[in-house]
C-alpha cells in the first residue's frame, strides 16, 4: 500500500475484499443472539483499531487485538481471532514499529468487516 509520505500513517488501512465470514455457531439457537450482538459491535471495534493505528497507540492496539483473539473464537470466528493473534504477536515484538504493522492491521480490519450476522449473506 503506497502512502504519500511513506510513513503508513496518513491513510486508513483498507480492506482487501475478504469473502464473508460466517460464525460456526450461526445455526446454534442458544448462541445466535450472542453472535448477532458480536457482529453488530464489529463496526465499533474496527473504528477503535483504525483510531489506535492512526494515532500510533500501541497499548490500545495490543488491548483490542488481545480481546479479539480471545473473543472471536468463542463466537465462532476463528479467522478473526487468528488475525488478531498475529497482530498482537507483532506488537509484542520489541523491534516492532507501528508503521510496519499496516498489513497486519489491514488484515484484522478486513476480517472484522467480513463477519456477517447469522441469516445475512
CATH number at residue 96: 1.20.120
If one counts the domains in the chain, the total is: 1
Q: What is the pLDDT of residue 97?
A: 74
CA–CA separation, 102 and 50 (whole Å): 10
pLDDT tens digits along 5-22: 333 433 433 445 678 999
Average pLDDT, the chain: 84
**Domain extent for 62:** 32-114
Give how far the C-alpha of residue 11 lies from the chain's centroid of Cα atoms, to the nearest Å. 17
If one compares 5 and 41, the residue with the highest pLDDT of the two is 41
CA–CA separation, 18 and 31 (whole Å): 24
CA–CA separation, 112 and 109 (whole Å): 5
User: Is residue 83 in a domain?
Assistant: yes
Q: What is the pLDDT of residue 3?
A: 32
CA–CA separation, 56 and 38 (whole Å): 26
Amino acid at each position: 500500500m503506497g502512502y504519500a509520505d511513506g510513513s503508513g500513517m496518513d491513510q486508513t488501512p483498507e480492506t482487501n475484499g475478504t469473502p464473508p465470514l460466517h460464525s460456526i455457531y450461526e445455526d446454534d439457537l442458544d448462541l445466535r443472539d450472542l453472535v448477532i450482538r458480536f457482529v453488530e459491535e464489529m463496526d465499533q471495534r474496527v473504528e477503535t483499531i483504525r483510531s489506535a493505528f492512526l494515532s500510533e497507540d500501541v497499548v490500545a492496539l495490543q488491548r483490542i487485538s488481545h480481546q479479539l483473539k480471545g473473543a472471536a473464537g468463542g463466537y465462532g470466528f476463528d479467522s478473526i481471532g487468528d488475525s488478531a493473534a498475529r497482530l498482537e504477536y507483532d506488537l509484542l515484538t520489541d523491534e516492532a514499529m507501528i508503521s510496519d504493522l499496516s498489513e497486519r492491521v489491514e488484515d484484522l480490519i478486513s476480517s472484522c468487516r467480513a463477519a456477517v450476522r447469522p441469516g445475512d449473506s
